Chain A
Amino acid sequence: AQKVTQAQTEISVVEKEDVTLDCVYETRDTTYYLFWYKQPPSGELVFLIRRNSFDEQNEISGRYSWNFQKSTSSFNFTITASQVVDSAVYFCALRSGNTPLVFGKGTRLSVIA
């Protein structure tokens, strides 16, 4: 069975602080994909990144960076110099093949000015 665990339910930081959102996954498949989505109060899911299981290179996109480590089954997400607009719920998700995405429970991030 596939499972995604986001242990942090809520995080609150002061603007300009760095924050890391943790994601641990479980799967028996050797080929799989990991995702991060942002869900602002409007509800829509904003796609942030997709990573396949064969690519362990870390990625940086502006203030966002992701650390994928197969050895610990983790796919953590760091926001550098957080801003109020980063306040949202962030979901980590996993899939293999054409199966539906399995989502973690989400982490609610509040960035305080």
Chain B
Amino acid sequence: GAVVSQHPSRVICKSGTSVKIECRSLDFQATTMFWYRQFPKQSLMLMATSNEGSKATYEQGVEKDKFLINHASLTLSTLTVTSAHPEDSSFYICSAVGGPGFNYGYTFGSGTRLTVV
């Protein structure tokens, strides 16, 4: 079945540093990946849509210069949180479009819990 690997699962970083989160489709090609953010006890909110080989599309209110998304290949998308601050602490999760039943469902990574101290 379709598998999406997301790393790291947990990261703690100091305020002002940058953190890179990777999302890989292991056994299929993902032309589109979505990045979501989830604050504690809240729902998943879409941050951006990344398409392989093109610039990401960001949702309203998401700073594209702060959350850098790169989708350089059909199996890898990365989210870099630049100059992280405590308010960026959240659960980040990606999903990839593709794989078996391509038109029907999306496969999610296992998520990354970011804590900025």
Contact = CB atoms under 8 A, between A and B. Distances in A.
B111 A91 contact: no
Contacts of A106: 42-43
A53 to B, nearest CB: 12
B97 interface: yes
B97 A98 contact: yes
Interface string B35-60: 00010011110100100000000000
A106 B105 CA distance: 19
Contact of A101 (B106, B111, B113): B106
B79 to A, nearest CB: 15
Nearest to B33: A100
Contacts, number: 44
B108 interface: yes
B95 A101 contact: yes
B44 A44 contact: no
B110 A50 contact: no
B110 A44 contact: yes
B67 interface: no
A103 interface: yes
Contact of A45 (B41, B42, B49, B108): B108
A22 to B, nearest CB: 15
Contacts of B28: none
Given A101-B95, A103-B44, A104-B43, A44 B49 contact: no
30 contacts: A33-B104, A35-B105, A37-B108, A43-B93, A43-B110, A43-B111, A43-B113, A44-B108, A44-B111, A45-B93, A45-B108, A47-B108, A50-B104, A50-B105, A52-B104, A91-B43, A91-B44, A95-B106, A98-B32, A98-B97, A98-B103, A100-B34, A100-B46, A100-B49, A100-B95, A101-B34, A101-B106, A103-B43, A104-B43, A105-B42
Given A50-B105, A100-B46, A103-B44, 5 more contacts: A33-B104, A37-B108, A98-B103, A101-B44, A105-B42
